[in-house]
Amino acid sequence: MPKDEGIGASSKRREDLRFLTGKGKYTDDINLQGQAYAYFIRSDVAHGKINSIDTSAAEKMPGVEQIFTAKDFEGVGGVPCGWQVTDRHGEPMQEPKHPVLAEGKVRHVGDPIAVVVADSLAEARDAAEAVEIDITELEPVLNMKDALKDGATKVHDDLTSNLCYDWGFVEENRDAVDEAIKGAHHVTTLELKNNRLVANPMEPRVAVAEYDGSTDDYTLYTTSQNPHVIRLLMGAFVLGIPEHKLRVVAPDVGGGFGAKIYHYAEEAFCTFAAKQVGRPVKWTSSRSEAFMSDAHGRDHVTKIELAMDKDGKFLAIRTDTHANMGAYLSTFAPSIPTWLHGTLMAGNYTTPLIYVNVKAVFTNTVPVDAYRGAGRPEATFQLERVVDKAAREMGIDPIELRRRNFITEFPYATPVAVEYDTGDYHATMDKLLEMSDHAGFEKRAEESKKNGKLRGFGIAHYIEACGIAPSNLVGQLGARAGLYESATVRVNATGSISVMTGSHSHGQGHETSFAQVVADMIGVDEAQIDIVHGDTSKVPMGMGTYGSRSIAVGGSAMVRATEKIINKAKKIAAHLMEASEGDIELKDGAFTVAGTDKSVAWGDVTLAAYVPHNYPLEDIEPGLEETAFYDPANFTYPSGAYGCEVEVDPETGKVTVLGFSAADDFGNIINPMIVEGQVHGGLAQGIGQALVENCAYDENGQLLSGSYMDYTMPRADDLPMFKVDHSSITPCTHNPLGVKGCGEAGAIGSPPALVSAVVDALQRGGHTNVTHIDMPLTPDRVWAAMNS
């Protein structure tokens, strides 16, 4: 292996050649012989009773193969939910049926009612216009607090109310927290909203399915972050197809950000319809459909209280959150405001008592599920914002207040059921202050003032929990899935290696960074290694990629499989060199006998494994292929300190982000360049949430931000040049690489830093009544806050 390869090298992303030259193979690039096209007819009202659907005229239209409605799905399962939350009283959550096509009622704008399958998309659309659907509009349920009032209109008539669950965590702490808050020297209270977002991956969702009647085999090509999960959920719970008869392929996927984790009705539809019509069926989402059918993110309304003693030492935290589930439960929706949110509420601080209450509510909106960070940004945002407000109220510098409360001894068991293995929060804070030239801030603020602008600095510290595990624990918490990962390392006869990983790359660069790990372990060139993912017929059952888990969990599985390979290869090498196995060392791609000049090359050993003429057949099998499944002992806990510097135009309220610095502790780093890219992307999305992105509904439940004319994506000129550092390293103690994960950090730590920076700017400008502004901090909102 060359010196500039392996763990710690900034190897260039090998996948970028095909991505940047238009050679990527995405799901929409897959066209099967004789395929038909599906066009979904979706509800244009938020809530309504379906009186009738008349397809008779449409069925006679040119090119129409078949038109499907709910009646075609009798006996077919609904779209399942993968996580059952138990409420504060020990009762399971309310779980409504989620039919593939609407049965009797429509529950959000975009809810699919009928599907036309035709020879061409244009013919399908033409026929769709001839389908007559009679709907009586019902009062839409939109405001979460109103939805919980007695007598409120129900989204699901067969449930007792719009409450999915009322979750308390840790329930046993409830009274003690109340007491601590009652007796505290000072309590800072903050009410805030975490705005609803649309994930907006560059590639919209696509599904192409085919059925082979001669073998009873189904194949689904789909834009997924986790093809095995789709195979399990769709095969077992929706369509009743055994796994050996169902292959799911997620080829190149153009971004996921969470929205491509879930099993969607469109995938099940295409798979079902392919058999019904006897030809492959393809569906490609339009961007407009993506806005109203991809799971949304966030949408929490929260009140948080932070109790302190006279020195600013945190005594207790109490939070009350309403979390929007939308109209149905998306695959992992119930877990986001609970186990991925409540467990993070300690943040980086030693607060001894914490109580988190979450009421999950059904509304007539698109289902909400994990979006980059998933629960952790919501926890971090409220905690860091209340700490910032508390600093102001207590007259303590916000950096100092944080330092006074930092956890410094590890492992640290929080009062919200998790144990941090490592971290050094003072180190990342120190690094941040250096990177952001915090010492020079006051001078810069003076310059801004001279130019009629208000400059502010905001800081946020975050803790993340990645690689959610172990499986037996998450099972107790309600997960209906395991959260291990798998890898098969297949060494070929001439020494090249194919690694089949259960992780899935949809932009993260696994093909490069995973190869670096195996190359480093064996000592061969990275070019000798290919990473294979995204096809249930090729890779062992894996759980896919989300929650910054790939290197921590998938990477660990790959390390374990590679260790098995090395152990076996050493046995072969020992045989070839007539040495004792215990004396064999692997270095730079060659096996040597310790203390001698005897050596065999990697390729000699691999060839012997497949051409076993001189081979210890009595002891070991031929071949060199190993599989490992890795189930982590704990989460990993990346952390970091983020600083944002802004300038506000007091005449217009426009916020300009002048600088953003991120000092992260991701544990050990495999590829610094890829890590930096991941942080950049996360920061762009976090700043996007804080500054511009907003998924809004009007009072009728119509999506106001249903296109890029009204939904603002952050653009390059909205963002500053980022300063990113990940030199503060406290390796994870419980996985073999000592890695923690970096995919979501940027999106978690940045929103509170930005909002605190704007509040700081306004405070400095004399707007001392402004203690918080709800995201996004668009010019009109900032101006309104200044003039309130």
Partner 1 sequence: MYDFEITKPGSIADAAKALGGDDAQALGGGQTLIPTLKQRLASPTTLVSLAGLSEMVGICKDDDGRLCIGGATTHAAVAADGSYPGLSGLAAHIGDPAVRNRGTIGGSLANNDPSACYPAAALGSGATIVTNAREIAADDYFKGLFETALEEGEIITEVKFPVPEKSNYQKFVQPASRFALVGVFVAKYADGVRVAVTGASEEGVHRWTAAEEALNANFSADAIAGLDAPSGDGMINDLHGSGEYRAHLVKVMTGRAVAAAA
Q: Which is nearer to partner 1, 619 or 710 (CB)?
A: 710
Q: Which is nearer to partner 1, 509 or 714 (CB)?
A: 714
Tokens of residue 527, six digits: 């070019």
Q: How far is the CB of 727 from partner 1 (least distance, A)?
A: 35
**Cβ-count burial 730-752 (b if 16+ within 10 Å, e if not):** bbbebbbbbbbbbbbbbbbbbbb
Residue 589 to residue 66: CA distance in whole angstroms? 59
Residue 428 to residue 451: CA distance in whole angstroms? 33
DSSP assignment string, 22-59: T---BGGG---TT-EEEEEEE-SSSSEEEEEEE-HHHH
Q: Which is nearer to partner 1, 365 or 678 (CB)?
A: 365
Q: How far is the CB of 149 from partner 1 (least distance, A)?
A: 27
Residue 265 to residue 588: CA distance in whole angstroms? 50
Q: How far is the CB of 787 from partner 1 (least distance, A)?
A: 8
Q: Which is nearer to partner 1, 364 or 778 (CB)?
A: 778
Q: How far is the CB of 507 from partner 1 (least distance, A)?
A: 24
Q: List the one residue out of 564, 403, 401 whose CA is nearest residue 487.
A: 564
Q: How far is the CB of 749 from partner 1 (least distance, A)?
A: 23
What does DSSP assign to residue 244? G
Alpha helices in 214-363 (DSSP H): 227-232, 265-277, 287-293
- Asked whether 9 and 105 are in contact (CB, 8 A), the reply is no
Q: How far is the CB of 566 from partner 1 (least distance, A)?
A: 53
- Asked whether 390 and 336 are in contact (CB, 8 A), the reply is no
Q: Which is nearer to partner 1, 202 or 709 (CB)?
A: 709
Place of tokens 């982000």: 657
Q: Which is nearer to partner 1, 655 or 658 (CB)?
A: 655
Q: Which is nearer to partner 1, 589 or 720 (CB)?
A: 720
Q: Which residues contact 788 (CB under 8 A, 6 or more apart)?
A: 769, 770
Q: Which is nearer to partner 1, 449 or 715 (CB)?
A: 715
Q: Which is nearer to partner 1, 527 or 784 (CB)?
A: 784
Q: Which is nearer to partner 1, 39 or 457 (CB)?
A: 39
Q: How far is the CB of 704 from partner 1 (least distance, A)?
A: 5
Q: How far is the CB of 384 from partner 1 (least distance, A)?
A: 24
According to DSSP, the β-strands at 132-137 and 639-648 are: unpaired
- From the DSSP assignment, how many helices (H) and strands (E) are in the chain? 19, 30
Residue 385 to residue 614: CA distance in whole angstroms? 68
Q: Which is nearer to partner 1, 412 or 783 (CB)?
A: 783
- Asked whether 753 and 458 are in contact (CB, 8 A), the reply is yes
Q: List the one residue out of 253, 257, 192 whose CA is nearest residue 688.
A: 257
Residue 125 to residue 679: CA distance in whole angstroms? 41
Q: How far is the CB of 82 from partner 1 (least distance, A)?
A: 33
- Asked whether 477 and 483 are in contact (CB, 8 A), the reply is no
DSSP assignment string, 728-787: -----SSSTT-B---SSHHHHHHHHHHHHHHHHHHHHTT-TT----PSS--HHHHHHHHT
Q: Which is nearer to partner 1, 193 or 654 (CB)?
A: 654
Q: How far is the CB of 128 from partner 1 (least distance, A)?
A: 10
Tokens of residue 149, six digits: 């009032």
Q: Which is nearer to partner 1, 611 or 784 (CB)?
A: 784
Q: How far is the CB of 269 from partner 1 (least distance, A)?
A: 22
Q: How far is the CB of 694 from partner 1 (least distance, A)?
A: 7
Q: Which is nearer to partner 1, 413 or 713 (CB)?
A: 713
Residue 88 to residue 99: CA distance in whole angstroms? 28
Q: What is the dihedral of CA 277, 281, 285, 286, to 10 degrees?
A: -80
Q: How far is the CB of 330 from partner 1 (least distance, A)?
A: 25
Q: Which is nearer to partner 1, 201 or 555 (CB)?
A: 201
Q: Which is nearer to partner 1, 738 or 779 (CB)?
A: 779
Q: How far is the CB of 146 from partner 1 (least distance, A)?
A: 21
Q: Which is nearer to partner 1, 243 or 649 (CB)?
A: 649
Residue 12 to residue 674: CA distance in whole angstroms? 8
Q: Which is nearer to partner 1, 633 or 713 (CB)?
A: 713
Q: How far is the CB of 200 from partner 1 (least distance, A)?
A: 12
Q: Helices 745-764 and 376-394 sit at what angle, rounded to 10 degrees?
A: 30
Q: Which residues contact 314 (CB under 8 A, 6 or more apart)?
A: 306, 307, 308, 349, 350, 351, 405
Burial environment of residue 195 by CB neighbours within 10 A (0 to 12, 13 to 18, 19 or more):
buried
Q: How far is the CB of 718 from partner 1 (least distance, A)?
A: 8
| 3-state SS class at 579 | coil
Residue 665 to residue 428: CA distance in whole angstroms? 7
Q: How far is the CB of 784 from partner 1 (least distance, A)?
A: 7
According to DSSP, the β-strands at 722-725 and 655-665 are: parallel
Footprint of partner 1 on this chain (CB under 8 A)?
125, 288, 651-652, 654, 692, 694, 696, 704-705, 708-713, 778-780, 783-784
Instruction: With residue 190 as reference, give the H or E element that holds it.
Output: strand 186-194
Q: List the 599-601 sheet strands across, edge first.
A: 584-587, 590-593, 599-601
Q: Helices 745-764 and 672-691 sit at what angle, rounded to 10 degrees?
A: 50
Q: How far is the CB of 287 from partner 1 (least distance, A)?
A: 11
Q: List phi, psi (to 5°) of 83.
A: -150, 125
